[in-house]
Amino acid sequence: MVQSTQPKNQEKLNKFEKIKAEKDGLDIKDQLEHFAQIGWEAMDKTDLEHRLKWVGIFYRPVTPGKFMLRMRMPNGILTSEQMRVLGYIVQRYGDDGNADITTRQNLQLRGIRLEDIPDIFNRLKDAEMTSMQSGMDNVRNITGSPMAGLDADELIDTRELVQKVQDMITNHGEGNYEFTNLPRKFNIAIEGGRDNSVHAEINDIAFVPAYKNGELGFNVVVGGFFSAKRCEAAIPLNAWVSPTDDAVVGLCRAILTVFRDHGSRANRQKSRLMWLIDEWGIDKFREAVEAELGYKLTPEAETDEIDWEKRDHIGVFPQKQAGLNYVGMHVPVGRLYAENMLDLARMAEVYGNGEIRLTVEQNVIIPNIPDDNLETFLEEPILEKFSISPKPLQRALVSCTGAQFCNFALVETKNRALTLAKELDEALELPQTVRIHWTGCPNSCGQPQVADIGLMGTKVRKDGKTVEGVDLYMGGKVGKDAHLGTCVQKGIACDDLFPVLTDLLIENFGAKRR
Ligand code: SRM
Ligand code: SF4
């Protein structure tokens, strides 16, 4: 068994490094049967709270005994059969069971009982799905354009590449000790379209379409990340790669190896890839990657092909395949219940070719619907809930999990976000969508820095009491010329948000009172 802890320079290891050095998180995969038998209360605390995350199982202190299961959905694509399997898994938990579409084009299942895990994992395997290495110091779900293979203006179809990178990292979902002990979490995105659908700038590695000497491939940016302490947009690696498995998978492997062997394991707040790039400088980092690859990287193309505004894909759109369409449905704050999942699975089969896609905006797309099927599709009752023409603020709303399930949360997010967006949509006429992102704490899972208006949970003092509040972010730009927004106002009590956002929307986004 390959163990990969490589602390550098005898540095003092942080608490999590010690946990990993004692036992690789992936070892947990062989103990699941045992845990199911003894029950979570009898488990070793570190196994329960940390190591289970290596196989995607998250103990939730907010709902003890009801676990979250974070899947992997390469490129955000799944089949109706897979969605049905996931729907049945959460259905058995009644009111506790649901699923969230995440900001990484992924699904997280809720209400899961540990005693059911062996059976659930068997069902996932049968349906060719995995939750392997989806939490802690592993590579998160790999994102790609939700339009891959459908869009007439697409440059590179990323589906196979994303799958191949995932297979390399997880050993085809079986688990891969080579990459289960990184210094910190790691995000990879592969963009194939013109609109930067994946938010390339906020990933540790992102591939962005670019022509070099007339050949289409990718420029590579590295080091983008958000954390409570620091947020940075990715910077150019000064590398261009051709869109082949060897080049893309090989480069991911090389960068991950360099990060694994040289990234700092002392201070967890300073362990993401960008800290290593800072310490070394990008040239030394690139040389180390080249040494790992065994060849020199081609310098980047002068320009990339990201020249469109970001699309939200909500509505009905023709595909590049004549006579076929995709329908993007708005799922309020990404929350799905078993009946919705089973409905979506049925609709994908009846009207499309059985495929379902997810977006980083936490919405759902059903592709491959023939013209003749469209009218009946649009009469399906679920479209009243998952609208194809939601009001402007609800349309672009994104929210992290928040206090309902997440113990880091300083505020409740999803319900509050939705209620407020509905109230503001009622009160105001807006000439365009305004992208509001909620995140329950400074970890920034809801990406407030990419939003027009970002709201980050905090605690504030109001009338002598500590109440739930937010810090306000503005100026996030997505699509072409993407850049991060910044904090413009601190400590607004959530109860005061309606008037504050009303004024903000009138002054900055052309809203008019109804
Ligand atoms: Fe996140 C930790 C939820 C996307 C930055 N994130 C967590 C945990 C696991 C904390 C915990 O154990 O409770 C949250 C689980 C709550 C729950 O029960 O759902 C959590 N993160 C999420 C999700 C579900 C938010 C959502 O509602 O969509 C997203 C899951 C994505 C996925 O499918 O894997 C999610 N997290 C993100 C993103 C956005 C992105 O990747 O584009 C970020 C910022 C980008 C980045 O990482 O650079 C993000 N999450 C964090 C961090 C801060 C990382 C850091 O370097 O400091 C933490 C805390 C940590 O890792 O120590 C964290
Ligand atoms: Fe939890 Fe904070 Fe992430 Fe929201 S931003 S899911 S509250 S860790």
Which atom of ligand 2 lies at the shortest distance from residue 446's CA? 5
The verdict on residue 463 lying in a domain is yes
Q: Could you say which ligand is closest to the alpha carbon of residue 111?
A: 1
**Given ligand 1 and candidates 109, 443, 484, which is best to mutate, with the most ligand atoms within 8 Å of its CB?**
443
Dist CA 312 CA 359 (whole Å): 8
Give the number of other Cβ atoms within 10 Å of residue 94's Cβ: 9
Ligand 2: residue of 408, 411, 455 to mutate (most ligand atoms within 8 A of CB) is: 408
Query: Do residue 250 and residue 261 come from a single domain?
Result: yes
The one-character DSSP state at 138 is S
| Residues 384 and 400 placed together within one structural domain of the fold | no
Closest approach atom of ligand 2 to CA 440: 7
450 CA distance to ligand 1 centroid (A)? 15
Cα–Cα nearest to 300, from 241, 216, 214: 241
Query: Which residues sit with their C-beta closer than 6 Å to ligand 2?
Result: 400-402, 406, 408-409, 439-441, 443-446
Residues 332 and 397 sit within 8 Å (Cβ to Cβ): yes
Bridge partner list, 205 = 188, 222
Q: How many domains does the chain have?
A: 3
Q: Do 168 and 178 touch, CB atoms closer than 8 A? A: no
Q: Which CATH number do you get for residue 403?
A: 3.30.413.10
What stretches of 356-411 show up as alpha helix (H) in DSSP? 371-378, 382-385, 392-395
Asked if residue 369 belongs to a domain, the reply is: yes
> Are 420 and 505 contained in the same domain?
yes
On whether both 339 and 400 belong to a single domain, the answer is no
User: What is the span of the domain harbouring residue 367?
Assistant: 315-388
Residues lining ligand 1, Cβ inside 6 A: 58, 60, 68, 70, 100, 102-104, 106, 108, 134, 140-141, 184-185, 187, 202, 225-228, 272, 400-401, 405-408, 443-445, 447
Q: Is 440 tagged catalytic?
A: yes
**What CA–CA distance (Å, rounded) separates 486 from 463?**
28
264 and 330 co-located in one domain: no
Contacts of 34 (CB under 8 A, 6+ apart): none
Residue 398 and residue 376 share a domain: no
On whether the CB atoms of residues 512 and 428 are closer than 8 A, the answer is yes
Domain-located, residue 487: yes
In order along its 514 residues, the chain shows pLDDT tens digits of 444 445 555 678 999 999 999 999 999 999 999 999 999 999 999 999 999 999 999 999 999 999 999 999 999 999 999 999 999 999 999 999 999 999 999 999 999 999 999 999 999 999 999 999 999 999 999 999 999 999 999 999 999 999 999 999 999 999 999 999 999 999 999 999 999 999 999 999 999 999 999 999 999 999 999 999 999 999 999 999 999 999 999 999 999 999 999 999 999 999 999 999 999 999 999 999 999 999 999 999 999 999 999 999 999 999 999 999 999 999 999 999 999 999 999 999 999 999 999 999 999 999 999 999 999 999 999 999 999 999 999 999 999 999 999 999 999 999 999 999 999 999 999 999 999 999 999 999 999 999 999 999 999 999 999 999 999 999 999 999 999 999 999 999 999 999 999 999 999 999 999 9
> Ligand 2: which of 398, 406, 458 to mutate, judged by most atoms within 8 Å of the beta carbon?
406
Q: Which residue has its alpha carbon closest to ligand 2 atom 3?
A: 445
Minimum CA distance residue for ligand 2 atom 2: 441
If asked whether residues 376 and 437 sit together in one domain, one would say no
In a domain, 18, yes or no: no
**Residue given tokens 């000064």 in the structure block:** 238
Is 300 domain-assigned? yes
184 catalytic? Reply is yes
- State whether 186 and 308 are in the same domain: yes
Pairing mode, strands 188-190 and 143-144: parallel
Residue 329 belongs to a domain: yes
Query: Could you say which of 253, 288, 312 is where a domain stops?
Result: 312
Asked whether this complex has an ipTM greater than 0.90, the answer is yes
Q: Which of 265, 297, 312 is at the close of a domain? A: 312
Q: For residue 186, give every residue at least 6 positions away whose Cβ sits within 8 Å of its Cβ, in sequence order, or none.
A: 137, 138, 139, 140, 204, 205, 256, 259, 273
Q: Are residues 308 and 186 in the same domain?
A: yes
DSSP 278-309: HHH-HHHHHHHHHHHHTSPPBPPPSS-S--SP
Q: Do residues 433 and 492 share a domain?
A: yes
Residues 282 and 321 grouped into a single domain = no
User: Of 388, 408, 433, which residue constitutes the final position of a domain?
Assistant: 388
Q: CA separation (Å) from 31 to 45, 298, 508?
A: 14, 45, 55
Query: Are residue 292 and residue 337 in the same domain, yes or no?
Result: no
Ligand nearest to the Cα of 102, by number: 1
| CATH number of the CATH domain containing 367 | 3.30.70.3340
